[in-house]
Amino acid sequence: MSRIDDTFARLSETGGKAFVAYMMGCDPDFDTSLQIMRGLPGAGVDIIELGMPFTDPMADGATIQAAGQRALAAGGSVSRVLDMVRAFRRDDDATPIVLMGYYNPIYARQGGVDRFITEAVEAGVDGLIVVDLPPEEDAELCLPAREAGLNFIRLATPTTDDRRLPAVVRNTSGFVYYVSVTGITGGPAANAAEVAPEVARIRAAAKLPVVVGFGISTPEAAQAVAGVADGCVVGSAIVKLIGEGRPVPEILSFVADLAQGAHSA
Q: Which of 179, 202, 210, 211 binds another protein (CB under 8 A)?
A: 179
Cα separation, 263 vs 232, whole angstroms: 10
Choice among 46, 49, 126, 138 that is catalytic: 49
Under DSSP, the state recorded for 109 is S
Q: How many CB atoms lie within 10 A of CB 201?
A: 17
Q: Which of 2, 32, 157, 218 binds another protein (CB under 8 A)?
A: 157
Cα separation, 213 vs 195, whole angstroms: 10
36-44, 160-168, 205-213, 215-223 -> range binding another protein (CB under 8 A): 160-168
Q: Which CB atom, from 77 or from 253, has the smaller least distance to another protein?
A: 77
Q: How many CB atoms lie within 10 A of CB 83?
A: 17
Cα separation, 233 vs 213, whole angstroms: 5
Q: Which CB atom, from 160 or from 223, has the smaller least distance to another protein?
A: 160
Least Å distance, CB 175 to another protein, is: 15
Q: How big is the chain by its Cα radius of gyration, in Å?
A: 17
Judged by CB under 8 A, the chain residues 85 through 144 that form the site for another protein are 103-110, 131-134, 136-137
How far CA 19 is from CA of 108, 118, 230, 259, in Å, comes to 32, 28, 9, 6
Cα separation, 213 vs 225, whole angstroms: 9
Judged by CB under 8 A, the chain residues 195 through 234 that form the site for another protein are none
Query: Nearest to residue 237, comparing CAs of 68, 97, 64, 57?
Result: 64
Cα 146–148–149 angle (5° rounding)? 65
Respond yes or no: is residue 49 known to be catalytic. yes
Q: Which CB atom, from 133 or from 255, has the smaller least distance to another protein?
A: 133
User: Under the criterion CB under 8 A, does residue 183 sit at the interface with another protein?
Assistant: yes
Respond yes or no: is residue 137 known to be catalytic. no
15-23, 71-79, 144-152, 195-203 -> range binding another protein (CB under 8 A): 71-79
Cα separation, 56 vs 107, whole angstroms: 15
Q: Which of 33, 95, 151, 160 binds another protein (CB under 8 A)?
A: 160
The residue count for binding another protein (CB under 8 A) is 43
Query: Nearest to residue 85, comparing CAs of 52, 43, 112?
Result: 52
Q: Which of 85, 184, 226, 252 binds another protein (CB under 8 A)?
A: 184
Choice among 27, 60, 198, 230 that is catalytic: 60
Judged by CB under 8 A, the chain residues 20 through 59 that form the site for another protein are 53-59
Residues with a catalytic annotation lie at 49, 60
Footprint of another protein on this chain (CB under 8 A)? 53-59, 61-62, 65, 72, 77-79, 103-110, 131-134, 136-137, 154-161, 164, 168, 179, 182-184, 187
